[in-house]
């Protein structure tokens, strides 16, 4: 049977780029994109958002300082873990944490460590541990390279014949089109929606990351209960739009707390 060139290219991409492993969870993943170029694209989108006249970045307030403090503590703990466990060379993050004035209940972390927390979520986080729950979860997406996975899936789905070449060169017009569509580079910011399995993995990573940074993982249960109560019977906030159901999420988090507590030493 004759195999077409596009299929051969995809097979080659899998052979060359599928050997990545997610820290802590040990999950093997298929990645067909270059980290540095994805990070650059994400950073461009992040700066575009911050410089948009419609975006109000809060600075100097107690809440803004809290976002930076908790974020930096998480980043320091995560980077230490990665370095000590052989992942240091795989994560060249240029961390940045900003609080954005918005009633939207949301937070996110783009590839490369670009984090935004919307002020609308702060009444639900309530304290540092609640904030660490949210930020740890979002950073978990970045550490697990979920965005790169989604982009890799797009390459395969679109049957790019030059999959291997595109993977290492996003200046390729087809590859650049995908990156721009997913991240909004050069246009309105567009954030990825992750799969439920990726959300569950981010929950697991986030619990451990907050523990590493000195925040009690048990606080995550309270946060997700408050988030569930906030959603009520109405449409969920953007932060919950693609997440697992409240009951299953909380149950899974409770099951993972003992794992995370191994890293918790308190403050």
Q: Which pLDDT value is given to residue 156?
A: 65
Q: Which pLDDT value is given to residue 214?
A: 98
The encoded tokens of residue 21 equal 């492993």
pLDDT tens by residue, 223-238 = 999 988 887 656 555 5
Q: How confident is the model at residue 164 (pLDDT cuts 50, 70, 90)?
A: very low
Return d(Cα 140, Cα 205) in angstroms, integer: 5
Q: Are 20 and 34 in contact (CB under 8 A)?
A: no
Return d(Cα 172, Cα 191) in angstroms, integer: 22
Q: Which pLDDT value is given to residue 1?
A: 46
37 in catalytic set: no
Q: Which pLDDT value is given to residue 5?
A: 54
- DSSP assignment of the chain equals -PPPHHHHHHHHHHHHH--EE-TTT--EE---S-HHHHHHHHHHHHHHHHHSTT--EE-SSHHHHHHHHHHHHHHHHHHHHHHHTT-GGG-----EEEEE--SS--EEEETTTEEEEEGGGHHHH-SHHHHHHHHHHHHHHHHTTHHHHHHHHHHHHTT-TTHHHHHT-TTSHHHHHHHHHHH-TTSS--PPPPPHHHHHHHHHHHHHHHHHTT--TTHHHHHHHHHHHHHTTSPPPGGGTTSPPHHHHHHHHHHHHHHHHTT----
Closest CA to 96 of 80, 77, 74: 74
pLDDT tens by residue, 39-76 = 888 888 888 889 989 999 999 999 999 999 999 999 99
Rounded percentage of the chain residues whose pLDDT exceeds 90: 50
Q: Annotated catalytic residue: which of 138, 154, 199, 201?
A: 138
Q: How confident is the model at residue 142 (pLDDT cuts 50, 70, 90)?
A: very high
């Amino acid at each position: 049977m004759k195999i077409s060139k596009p299929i051969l290219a995809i097979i080659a991409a899998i052979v060359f780029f599928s050997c990545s492993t997610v820290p802590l969870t040990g999950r093997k993943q298929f990645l067909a994109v270059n980290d540095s170029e994805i990070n650059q694209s994400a950073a461009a989108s992040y700066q575009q958002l911050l410089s948009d006249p419609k975006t109000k970045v809060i600075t100097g307030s107690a809440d803004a300082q809290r976002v930076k403090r908790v974020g930096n503590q998480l980043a320091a703990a995560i980077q230490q873990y990665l370095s000590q466990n052989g992942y240091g060379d795989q994560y060249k993050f240029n961390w940045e944490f900003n609080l954005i004035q918005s009633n939207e209940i949301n937070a996110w972390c783009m590839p490369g460590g670009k984090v935004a927390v919307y002020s609308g979520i702060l009444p639900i986080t309530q304290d540092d541990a609640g904030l660490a729950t949210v930020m740890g979860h979002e950073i978990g997406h970045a550490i697990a390279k979920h965005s790169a996975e989604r982009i890799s899936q797009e390459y395969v789905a679109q049957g790019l014949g030059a999959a291997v070449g595109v993977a290492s060169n996003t200046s390729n017009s087809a590859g650049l089109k995908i990156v721009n569509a997913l991240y909004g580079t050069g246009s309105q910011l567009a954030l990825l929606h992750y799969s439920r399995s990726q959300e569950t993995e981010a929950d697991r990573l986030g619990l451990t990351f907050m523990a590493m940074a000195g925040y009690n993982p048990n606080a995550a249960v309270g946060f997700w209960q408050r988030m569930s109560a906030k959603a009520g019977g109405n449409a969920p906030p953007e932060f919950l739009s693609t997440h697992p159901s409240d009951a299953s999420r909380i149950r899974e988090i409770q099951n993972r707390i003992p794992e995370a507590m191994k890293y918790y030493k308190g403050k």
